[in-house]
């Protein structure tokens, strides 16, 4: 069995083919230019291989409701030139196999969930956040992706302000001081005038970010009660998550029981940003079981 994966990002697409054990056999990186040029290269790659199904994890917003007229589209994205792109329709013109279409973070969430099962963890649910240029999240409950009216927008809940951050307006054009507006990578430039990669972890700005991320963990813990919460993206490191665990413990104040925090709030188990590829393979494989 040969499966396909498309991890569609705002700067690059990663296309891969792999087997039913989620092992990558070949892959290619494609610069994200125009929809026509980019998707033609995606199609050309997969036409070389006898894939039986493809999982697609895309930047968004996207339309995931199969009954909607724009199912399979990238919709009102801020990515210039990609608004109202019929992503799924373009691929299906030349590739006649089942395709699973979801968000980039849902793909990563599912990959981390599958890896947990393969590692014999006793797990039924998982939440995945990415914190980078933006903030997004996906959730798995009882093996199923959460969201029927659309995909979750877990980067946009409003938060209680850190006492030392009340004058920062936030950078989200829709909500200003939502999670994405307060902790995404560009907030470093807005606050301290330099990229986050150049800001030492001893800088107080990391305490502010940790305070906000811990609130997100608190919210999703109390609403979904997942078995594990995984954080990926360029802003996240193990040292930063250590701060988040400490802040979360204070905020939770032992209100409900959660797993050991070192196993509950974690970095991705799949190396080299491969979570979405594994998730795509698994979601494609599921289509063939139906």
**Mean predicted confidence (pLDDT) in 13-26:** 97
> pLDDT tens-digit profile of 57-106?
999 899 999 999 999 999 988 889 999 999 999 999 999 999 999 999 99
Predicted confidence band of residue 14 (pLDDT cuts 50, 70, 90): very high
DSSP class of residue 197 equals G
What is the CATH number assigned to the segment(s) 3-103+272-289? 3.30.420.40
Please compute the mean of the pLDDT values over residues 258-286 and round it to a whole number.
Answer: 96
Give residue limits of the domains in the chain: 3-103+272-289, 120-266
pLDDT tens per residue, range 129-158: 999 989 999 999 999 999 877 788 899 999
**Distance between CA 40 and CA 57 in Å, rounded?**
17
Q: Do 3-103+272-289 and 120-266 agree at the fold level?
A: yes
Q: What is the pLDDT of residues 202-220, one digit of tens each?
A: 999 999 999 999 999 999 9
How are the residues of the chain apportioned to helix, strand and coil, as percentages rounded to the nearest 5? 35, 20, 45
Distances (CA, A) of 232 to 38, 184, 217, 237: 25, 12, 14, 8
CB 195 within 8 A of CB 186: no
Of 152 and 26, more confident = 26
CATH T-level topology, domain 120-266 = Nucleotidyltransferase; domain 5 (3.30.420)
């Amino acid at each position: 069995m040969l499966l396909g994966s498309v991890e569609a990002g705002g700067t690059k697409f990663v296309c891969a083919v792999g087997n039913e054990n989620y092992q990558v056999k070949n892959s290619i990186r494609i610069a994200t230019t125009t929809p026509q040029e980019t998707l033609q290269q995606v199609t050309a790659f997969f036409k070389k291989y006898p894939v039986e199904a493809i999982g697609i994890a895309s930047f968004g917003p996207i339309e995931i409701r199969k009954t909607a007229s724009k199912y399979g589209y990238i919709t009102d994205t801020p990515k210039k030139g990609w608004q109202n792109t019929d992503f799924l329709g373009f691929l299906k013109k030349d590739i006649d196999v089942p395709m699973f279409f979801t968000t980039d973070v849902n793909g990563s969430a599912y990959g981390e969930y599958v890896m947990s099962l393969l590692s014999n963890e006793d797990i039924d649910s998982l939440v995945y956040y990415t914190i980078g240029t933006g903030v997004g999240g996906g959730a798995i409950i009882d093996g199923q992706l959460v969201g029927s009216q659309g995909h979750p927008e877990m980067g946009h809940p409003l938060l209680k302000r850190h006492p030392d951050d009340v004058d920062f307006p936030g950078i989200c054009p829709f909500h200003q001081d939502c999670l994405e507006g307060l902790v995404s990578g560009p907030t470093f430039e807005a606050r301290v005038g330099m990229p986050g990669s150049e800001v030492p972890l001893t800088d107080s700005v990391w305490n502010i970010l940790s305070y906000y991320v811990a609130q997100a963990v608190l919210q999703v813990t109390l609403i979904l009660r997942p078995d594990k919460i995984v954080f990926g993206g360029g802003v996240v490191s193990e040292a930063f998550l250590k701060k988040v665990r400490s802040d979360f413990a204070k905020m939770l104040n032992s209100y409900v029981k959660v797993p050991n925090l070192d196993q509950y709030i974690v970095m991705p188990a799949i190396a080299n940003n491969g979570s979405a590829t594994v998730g795509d393979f698994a979601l494609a494989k599921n289509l063939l079981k139906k």
